[in-house]
A and B are shown apart, each in its own frame.
Chain A
Amino acid sequence: MTPDHRQTGRLWRSPEPRAGYDAVIVGSGGHGLATAYYLAAEHGMADIAVLERSWLAGGNMARNTAIIRSNYLWPASAAIYEHALRLWEGLEEELGRDLHFSRRGVLNLAQSTHEVRESVRRVDADLLSGIDAEWLEPEQVAELVPILDTGPHVRHPVLGATYQPRAGIADHDLVAWAFAAEADRLGVDLIQDCEVTGFLRDGDRVTGVRTSRGDIEAPRVGLCAAGRTSRLAAELGLRLPLQSHPLQALVSQLLEPVLDTVVMSSATHVYVSQAPKGELVLGAGIDAYNGYGQRGSFRTVEDQVAAAVELYPVFAHADVVRTWAGIVDVTPDASPVIGPTPVEGVYLNCGWGTGGYKATPGAGQVFADTIARGRAHPLAEPFGLDRFGTGALVDEHGAAAVAH
């Protein structure tokens, strides 16, 4: 492939879709781009297209709070998120680009005696899973986060926190663009403005996709469409245990550095970090109702800001500059669905709910392997669609850190 586009300063070509590919990935968010990259880089599959209904990485990938951590409760979750974290640790080198990856640690506050027990249990579980985890007493929390009010008068007083020092943040746009540029360099066609509207089938086997720009043949189709997965699956007659919800976040204006770690509060549904430029980035829990509107209710923002100001009194000086919402696909057990489907050739990567960003490289590598070999990657095995029938759920509501 002649990298002509590089001379124009563009990060990727914008080719016309071809009539067919070895595999098609639906959705050019972080997971779709990472999947395409790993298919090309590790499985020698360069005859791939990533189809995007809108613009590249403009959905949840542009709407998250950039937090990366792996301190989940169950071994299955800890394994896949820790796999992702290890990839994050080498990702700038692997992709040859600065991703503003900052290992600044994450604290998950415990604000009731129940949360203290759950948190200590999760720390112990993480240590057994080989994940860095510490339990911090309130004094230690206060030392790490001086602006946090750890006094007893707070409505939900800080009784301690779990701490994962290797956790952190990375710039979501840089991550998307790096995966896109490297996938493009390896020959992957990134096709924007190309909405998948249906599927081509031969009995129980997929043979391609119908798109707003014509039919495209492909024996393998990987869905990385997050909140829109149910809609796509419905075109296959496939019913999934997913509910799509708005998930909101907001930023303040640029401020002096006041917070050099990430702090999450499950009890009050607010989590915060300060971006390198200085804006406070605050995330909320999901809006309770189903929604595809990429916006949520103001009451969620109000609750989130009220909780943040009580925990961090200094935030009262900050202004909300911008709020936004993504559409997250939530499963009943707050864990993803990864693997084959009853339709041969169609593979699912969905249900990441509020936790998809942190998994980006891990999800991409595991999903690429699943597509290339036609079976669930070992790390994906516990996350099959069949678990809802067998009852072998991976219940991560406690460690999801955001209300589902």
Chain B
Amino acid sequence: MLLIPCPWCGPRDECEFRYGGQSHIAHPAAPASLTDAEWADYLFFRDNPEGLFTERWFHAAGCRRWCDVVRHTADYRVLTSAPCQGGPSGGGEW
């Protein structure tokens, strides 16, 4: 069970959250000018490291705000948590 430190509510049980995948995926500034490969990269390709991963969690059953969490994907240690920089950028469930 993960204990996720919500920046606003403190450490809370994982079951209160929804997962939002990799953080800091910016929506393209000029989507119409992207090539198919660049659009595919934006839509479908994400980092998948075995190690530290910066990912978004949504505190669905709490303050209903997003945070960026740094977590280790092999031993599942949660290192840090902070409000999302610039807010959510799409791709997650609301």
Q: Write the residues of chain A forming the contact surface with B, with a CB cutoff of 8 angstroms.
A: 228, 230-231, 239-244, 288-293, 295, 297-299, 332, 388-391
Contacts and interface: CB of A to CB of B under 8 A. Distances in A.
A239 to B, nearest CB: 6
Nearest to A294: B74
A288 B15 CA distance: 11
B18 interface: yes
Assign chain B's interface to a size class: 20 to 34
A297 B49 CA distance: 19
A389 B76 contact: no
Contact of A299 (B15, B36, B43): B15
Nearest to B15: A299
Contacts of B19: 288-289
Contact of A242 (B2, B41, B48): B48
Contact of B14 (A241, A243, A297, A390): A297
B44 A388 contact: yes
Contact of A332 (B37, B43, B73): B43
Contacts of B44: 241, 332, 388
Given A231-B50, A299-B14, A388-B40, A293 B45 contact: no
Contacts of A295: 76
Contact of A288 (B18, B43, B71): B18
Contact of A290 (B13, B37, B41, B73): B73
Of A290, A388, A389, A391, most buried by chain B (CB within 10 Å of CB) is: A290
Contact of B45 (A239, A291, A390, A391): A239
Interface of B: 1-2, 13-15, 18-19, 21, 36-37, 39-41, 43-46, 48-50, 53, 55, 71, 73-76
Contacts of A389: 36-37, 39-40
B88 to A, nearest CB: 16
A288 B93 CA distance: 12
A289 B45 contact: no
Contacts of B1: 297-299
Contacts of A297: 1-2, 14
B5 to A, nearest CB: 15
26 contacts: A230-B48, A231-B50, A240-B45, A241-B44, A241-B45, A241-B46, A242-B48, A243-B46, A244-B50, A288-B18, A289-B71, A290-B48, A290-B73, A291-B76, A292-B50, A293-B74, A293-B76, A297-B1, A297-B2, A298-B1, A299-B14, A299-B15, A388-B44, A389-B36, A389-B37, A389-B39
B6 to A, nearest CB: 15
Nearest to B20: A288
